[in-house]
């Protein structure tokens, strides 16, 4: 008997084709018969430098032959130590303690537990977490609790804890959001423990963008009221918004920052939750009951840490920012071209991410247009996975102009096809 694979975010009852990838290189995936697929979304937002980057591959091969896995509770190893030292050149200076985990969702779980543990150990048990409307922070229970409620998690509602929700700062309504945040933060009867946000752009919530100035004001309100500020940079980190971390554009240094995906160049799972010294010191004690109670079997896996070290070396040694800037300029030129079309809405860009909507009346993740768009791009050998009627692209930084033009042409064809048929 053979077992059947249950794929994530896939409704197998629709019978949609699932193609098998045999290998990958650069900005492309290849089928067994050699057909080339352009990876326009960095394989679900993880690939930064491209598939099978030689430096990362070599680091994994070398490390796997020397030390593959070991317990990280009470022990350590060189790849983790080297990574902690190297991250100091990339993370905000106030975040001088890093905690390893396995994925973006677990990095968020760690951040939430750090925030709650901080207040508990100070003898001021705060329990309310503030979130932004339309947010997505992962699919584990804590991460779902601080994400938008809806079709994604409706079946699991009994497991989720209550949060305080501020509205998304749509253009022209930013002050409403700031005022609501101020109300939550100044509530002396139920003071919040923390605010968690995706800085500058919401990912699965529809690639919704807000300004660095608003991000800075949100952080300032939290600072005034002694509410911890958590930046979920799992998707936005490692250059996606144009800078290594999105918070840089707002001059914000969060109390806690989550990073994953591009941490290893998108090659192998690894996550970091970086915390300020105040968060660490609240857990530092001669009382074992005040330690930080979190771990997983593969915390700081040596092979994953070696891949992350190779990623840092690529950022130091290769013109990564030049590649990012080239994508940004290319997107801007294409956006100017698309502005002539009247059959799209919400055309927007944040760094290397470009998004737009095709109007279909539904306007959400469950739009019937989503699977049709997915098939349209799949038939043209382009990996684009729309969020309902939202088309977005987020290519690896190694992509060349010819592939970008192919992606742009396919998007224009999709716009014309689905707005005239």
Q: What is the pLDDT of residues 355-400, one digit of tens each?
A: 999 976 556 777 889 899 999 999 999 999 999 999 999 999 999 9
pLDDT value at position 421?
52
SS3 138: coil
Domain co-membership, 160 together with 238? yes
Region 169-193 average pLDDT: 96
Parent domain of 256: 56-317
Identify the pLDDT of residue 341: 82
- On whether both 335 and 211 belong to a single domain, the answer is no
Do 345 and 259 lie in one domain? The reply is: no
Question: How do beta strands 164-166 and 97-101 pair?
Answer: unpaired
User: If we measure between CA atoms, which residue out of 102, 132, 143 comes closest to residue 218?
Assistant: 132
Domain boundary among 317, 348, 376: 317
Strand order in the sheet with 256-259: 97-101, 271-275, 256-259, 228-232, 192-197, 128-132, 164-166
Q: At 190, list the tokens.
A: 């139920």
Per-residue burial over 274-295, b = 16 or more CB atoms within 10 Å of its CB, e = otherwise = bbbeebbebbeeeeeeeebeee
pLDDT for the residue numbered 363? 65
- CA proximity to 351, closest of 273, 213, 245: 245
* pLDDT per position as a tens digit, 64-122: 999 999 999 999 999 999 999 999 999 999 999 999 999 999 999 999 999 999 999 99
* Domain identity same for 304 and 224: yes
Residues 109 and 235 in one domain: yes
H runs (alpha helix) in 122-170: 141-145
CATH of the domain at 168: 3.40.640.10
Question: From CA 87, how far away is CA 195, in angstroms rounded?
Answer: 24
Tokens of 146: 């601080």
Q: Let me know whether 327 and 371 are in one domain.
A: yes
pLDDT at 151 over 90: no
Q: What is the pLDDT of residue 110?
A: 98
In a domain, 192, yes or no: yes
7 assigned to some structural domain: no
Closest CA to 323 of 247, 261, 400: 400
Q: Choose one of 256, 290, 317: the last residue of a domain.
A: 317
Instruction: Provide the whole-model pTM.
Output: 0.95
Distance (Å, whole) CA 259 – CA 264 = 10
């Amino acid at each position: 008997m053979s077992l059947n694979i249950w794929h994530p975010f896939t409704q197998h009852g629709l019978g949609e084709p699932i193609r098998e990838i045999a290998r990958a290189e650069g900005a492309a995936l290849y089928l067994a018969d050699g057909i080339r697929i352009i990876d326009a979304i960095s394989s679900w937002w993880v690939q930064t430098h491209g598939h099978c980057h030689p430096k990362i591959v070599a680091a994994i091969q070398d490390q796997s032959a020397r030390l593959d896995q070991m317990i990280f509770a009470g022990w350590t190893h060189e790849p983790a130590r080297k990574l902690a030292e190297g991250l100091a050149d990339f993370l905000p200076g106030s975040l001088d303690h890093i905690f390893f985990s396995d994925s973006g969702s677990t990095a968020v779980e760690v951040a939430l537990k750090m925030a709650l543990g901080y207040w508990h150990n100070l003898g001021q048990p705060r329990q309310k977490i503030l979130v932004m409307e339309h947010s997505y922070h992962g699919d584990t229970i804590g991460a779902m609790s601080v994400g938008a409620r809806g079709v994604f998690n409706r079946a699991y509602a009994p497991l989720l804890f209550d949060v305080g929700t501020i509205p998304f700062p749509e253009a022209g309504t930013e002050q409403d959001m700031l005022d609501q945040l101020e109300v939550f933060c100044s509530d002396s009867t139920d003071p919040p423990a923390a605010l968690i946000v995706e800085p500058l752009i919401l990912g699965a919530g529809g690639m919704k963008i807000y300004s660095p100035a608003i991000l800075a004001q949100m952080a300032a309100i939290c600072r005034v009221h002694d509410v911890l500020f958590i930046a979920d940079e799992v998707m936005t980190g490692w250059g996606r918004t144009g800078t290594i971390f999105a918070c840089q554009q707002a001059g914000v240094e969060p109390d806690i920052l989550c990073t994953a995906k591009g941490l290893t160049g998108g090659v192998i799972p690894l996550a970091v939750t970086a915390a300020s010294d105040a968060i660490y010191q609240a857990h530092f004690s001669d009382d074992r009951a005040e330690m930080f109670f979190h771990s997983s079997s593969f915390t700081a896996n040596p092979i994953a840490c070696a891949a992350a070290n190779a990623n840092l070396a690529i950022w130091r040694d290769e013109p990564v920012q030049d590649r990012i800037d080239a994508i940004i300029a290319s997107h801007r030129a294409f956006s100017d071209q698309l502005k002539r079309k009247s059959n799209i809405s919400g055309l927007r860009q944040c760094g290397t991410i470009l998004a737009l909507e095709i109007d279909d009346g539904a306007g959400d993740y469950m739009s019937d247009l989503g699977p049709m768009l997915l098939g349209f791009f799949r038939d043209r050998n382009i990996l684009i996975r729309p969020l309902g009627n939202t088309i977005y692209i987020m290519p690896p930084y190694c992509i060349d102009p010819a592939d970008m033009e192919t992606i742009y042409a396919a998007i224009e064809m999709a716009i014309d096809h689905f707005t005239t048929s």
